[in-house]
């Protein structure tokens, strides 16, 4: 039944894109996956940029190796060990960041190297798995499975609930956490919840664009949206718009015969192009405002 | 005694909003607060003065419950519960590129409805009333990141007042603001305090501001060097103890009276009128022979 639902929604989504290249089923599923990833990446990206957490999300992305390694060791499906490990690492970093007097960069740097080294050590012992490591590095949205789509859908629901409840408070905390705490906002609760959700978002997006580019699909739309918006509401909607546009556009471009590029790279390249446009736009409007 | 021992006791004399009893705090190897005993009177303006690194900010952090300490900090609010705090930090360091208006920022701490579903007219009206109180309604739709230091300070003050605090804590509200701005800020605070009746705690470097605007002063250099009414407390002895012996600080206690007497006896009173607020000015410009402080002034100037 689940399979049927996914197929239906994949058909529905691809109705929006009446192109030849959307005919095969794997393209439809890929598009559905990207339409679930786009809002997750865009919205978490906004908060990542606001609270300077891009290194955090990068570290989580790299924990994909450790997740895969643990899956291999315990003979458990990677679909579950990867998000599980990411969740633990994310909460661990957030906890150390809040409690320790070391700088955040240092904490993340240490954990980052530990998990990557651990992952590489285990994965490279196993020949088959080391061949599969490419899949984590570059990602492949075209092979997205039912489990992954379902997990994305559930995560998106949780994430949207979190945004409705916490959008305002997250903004407040990102300006100054101390003021927020004194003014009776549960800073810790919001920060831990966000770290947990962000870890899951990063890990499930690794499937689409790979470890190397996962930070880009979150940060670039958010940075682009900053150039287009003057207030919090505009930021929200423009980040969503940019993310949707670039995800769909990137997938379609990557499927063209003349392009022949991996979809992850196409999405990120398109996002960066849109960012460049937004940067010019911001320069021009700022100059006008200065006059 | 265990860390963070707080006793809430409404039976204590209502004249004191906060009482510190043997508050002790160590961060790493630094023994920052050493046996601090002092009180903060209810409904008045208390200034904490002291040199850099004396533990002024740390003491306010202890009041706010943001750091662990030994000893007792006793609050006596009318309700007997933990008081509501309003807090204005010294200098807000934040990402100035976050797209948000002043209204967005103030709403984000209060409104339940997420800002991407729009602003709630009820809260907007409420906030405008407070922005009016700190005289910056014009800034409501400005980008928060584009404001000047003084403007941000006012917005933060409005935000702290929006908490309807029992105790308002300001960390150096007049630093980074010019003299006139500082005066306006203190006047504004006095007006609002008289209207709302909260207790105000203000960290300050500026002894002139303290003398003019505080009702109670705590001189802090790791431990309390003196407390009480500013004019009585800020004596040579206490200031020397607080700031160190060799700073050669002016006798704050004496200046206002000297100036007054000088100007009363001085035939050039009209000319000297604008110079009264500063010791050096007094010495340099009041060299007229009829002025009874002229000689003393010259000696000092040397």
Q: Is residue A256, in this structure, part of any structural domain at all?
A: no
Query: Shortest Cα distance from A58 to chain B (angstroms)?
Result: 20
Give the pLDDT confidence score for residue B297 in this predicted structure.
Answer: 43
Give the pLDDT confidence score for residue B81 in this predicted structure.
Answer: 72
Cβ <8 Å between B85 and A182: yes
Q: Is residue A235, in this structure, part of any structural domain at all?
A: no
Q: Is residue A65, in this structure, part of any structural domain at all?
A: yes
Cβ within 8 Å of residue A98, ≥6 positions away? A188, A191
The token pair at B162 is 């929006």
Average pLDDT, chain B: 78
The answer to whether A118 contacts chain B (CB < 8 Å) is no
The token pair at A48 is 């990542």
Give the pLDDT confidence score for residue B78 in this predicted structure.
Answer: 62
The answer to whether B11 contacts chain A (CB < 8 Å) is no
Q: Is residue A132, in this structure, part of any structural domain at all?
A: yes
Give the pLDDT confidence score for residue B261 in this predicted structure.
Answer: 46
Would you say residue B9 has pLDDT above 90? no
Structural domains in chain B, sorted by start: 7-84+166-242 (3.40.50.300), 94-164 (no CATH), 255-301 (no CATH)
* Distance of alpha carbon B174 from alpha carbon B91, whole angstroms: 10
Residues of B within 8 A of A233 (CB-CB) are 115-116, 118
Task: Give the dihedral sign, CA B206/B201/B17/B51.
Answer: negative
Selected for mutation to probe chain A from B64, B116, B117 (highest A CB count within 10 Å) is B116
* Distance of alpha carbon B113 from alpha carbon B123, whole angstroms: 10
Q: Is residue A259, in this structure, part of any structural domain at all?
A: no
Residues of B within 8 A of A174 (CB-CB) are 94-95, 98
Residues of A within 8 A of B87 (CB-CB) are 178-179, 182-183
Would you say residue B178 has pLDDT above 60? yes
pLDDT tens digits for range B44-103 = 999 999 888 889 999 999 999 888 999 989 887 666 677 899 999 988 889 999 999 999
Half-sphere exposure of B107 (CA within 13 A, CB side): 29
Give the pLDDT confidence score for residue B233 in this predicted structure.
Answer: 85
Q: In which residue ranges of chain A is pLDDT below 70?
A: 129-132
Give, in order, the Cα–Cα distances in Å from B9 to each of B15, B72, B73, B78.
13, 12, 11, 10
Q: Is residue A14, in this structure, part of any structural domain at all?
A: no
Structural domain count, chain A: 1
Cβ <8 Å between A50 and B105: no
Q: pLDDT class for B238, splitting at 50, 70, 90?
A: confident
pLDDT tens digits for range B142-173 = 999 999 888 898 899 999 999 999 999 998 87
Give the pLDDT confidence score for residue B274 in this predicted structure.
Answer: 44
Cβ within 8 Å of residue A20, ≥6 positions away? none
Cβ <8 Å between A183 and B86: yes
Give the pLDDT confidence score for residue B45 in this predicted structure.
Answer: 92
The whole domain housing A148 covers 2-7+24-210
Q: Please spell the DSSP secondary structure of B257-284, one letter per residue.
A: HHHHHHHHH-TTHHHHGGGTT-HHHHHH
For position A131, which CATH number holds?
A: 1.10.3470.10
Give the pLDDT confidence score for residue A49 in this predicted structure.
Answer: 95
The answer to whether B94 contacts chain A (CB < 8 Å) is yes
Query: Shortest Cα distance from B26 to chain A (angstroms)?
Result: 14
Q: Is residue A64, in this structure, part of any structural domain at all?
A: yes
Yes or no: say if B203 and B170 are a contact pair by the CB < 8 Å rule: yes
The token pair at A267 is 């999405």
């Amino acid at each position: 039944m689940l399979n049927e639902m996914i197929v239906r929604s994949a058909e529905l989504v691809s109705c929006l894109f009446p192109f030849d290249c959307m005919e095969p089923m794997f393209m439809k599923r890929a598009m559905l996956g990207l339409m679930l990833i786009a809002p997750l990446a865009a919205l978490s990206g906004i908060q990542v940029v606001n609270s300077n957490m891009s290194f955090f999300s990068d570290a989580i992305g790299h924990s994909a190796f450790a997740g895969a390694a643990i899956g291999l060791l315990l003979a458990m499906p990677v679909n579950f060990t990867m998000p599980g490990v990411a969740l633990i690492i994310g909460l661990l970093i957030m906890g150390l960041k809040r409690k320790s007097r070391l700088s955040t960069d240092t904490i993340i740097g240490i954990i980052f190297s530990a998990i990557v080294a651990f992952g590489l050590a285990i994965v490279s012992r196993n020949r088959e798995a080391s061949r599969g490591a490419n899949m984590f590095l570059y990602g492949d949205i075209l092979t997205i499975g039912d489990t992954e789509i379902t997990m994305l859908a559930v995560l998106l629901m949780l994430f949207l609930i979190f945004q409705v409840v916490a959008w305002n408070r997250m903004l407040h905390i990102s300006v100054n956490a101390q003021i927020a705490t004194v003014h009776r906002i549960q800073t810790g609760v919001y920060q831990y919840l966000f770290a947990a959700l962000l870890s899951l978002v990063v890990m499930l997006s690794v499937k689409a664009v790979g470890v190397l580019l996962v930070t880009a699909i979150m940060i670039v739309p958010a940075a682009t949206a900053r150039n287009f918006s003057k207030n919090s509401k505009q930021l929200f909607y423009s980040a969503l718009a940019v993310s949707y546009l670039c995800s769909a556009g990137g997938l379609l471009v990557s499927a063209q015969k003349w392009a022949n590029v991996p979809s992850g790279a196409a999405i990120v390249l398109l996002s960066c192009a849109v960012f460049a446009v937004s940067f010019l736009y911001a320069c021009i409007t700022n100059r006008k405002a200065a006059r | 005694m265990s860390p963070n021992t707080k006793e809430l006791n409404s039976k204590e004399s209502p004249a004191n909003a906060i009482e510190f009893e043997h508050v002790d705090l160590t961060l790493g190897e630094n023994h920052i607060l050493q046996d601090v005993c002092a009180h903060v009177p209810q409904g008045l303006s208390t200034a904490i003065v002291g040199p850099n690194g004396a533990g002024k900010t740390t003491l306010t952090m202890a009041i706010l419950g943001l750091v662990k300490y030994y000893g007792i900090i006793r609050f006596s609010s009318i309700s007997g519960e933990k008081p509501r705090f309003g807090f204005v930090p010294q200098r807000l360091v934040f990402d100035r590129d976050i797209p948000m208006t002043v209204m967005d920022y103030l709403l984000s701490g209060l409104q339940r409805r997420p800002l991407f579903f729009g602003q709630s007219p009820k809260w907007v009206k409420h906030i405008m009333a407070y922005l009016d109180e700190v005289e910056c309604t014009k800034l409501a739709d400005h980008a928060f990141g584009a404001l000047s230091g003084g403007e941000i300070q006012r917005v933060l003050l409005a935000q702290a007042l929006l908490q309807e605090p029992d105790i308002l804590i300001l960390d150096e509200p007049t630093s980074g603001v010019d003299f006139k701005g500082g005066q306006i800020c203190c006047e504004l605070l006095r007006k609002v305090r008289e209207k709302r009746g909260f207790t105000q705690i203000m960290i300050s470097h500026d002894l002139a501001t303290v003398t003019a605007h505080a009702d109670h002063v705590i001189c802090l250099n790791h431990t309390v060097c003196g407390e009480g009414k500013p004019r009585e407390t800020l004596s040579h002895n206490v200031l020397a103890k607080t700031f160190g012996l060799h700073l050669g600080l002016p006798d704050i206690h004496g200046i206002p009276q000297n100036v007054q007497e000088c100007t009363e006896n001085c035939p050039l009173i009209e000319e000297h009128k604008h110079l009264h607020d500063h010791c050096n000015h007094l010495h340099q410009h009041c060299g007229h022979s009829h002025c009874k402080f002229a000689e003393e002034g010259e000696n000092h100037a040397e």
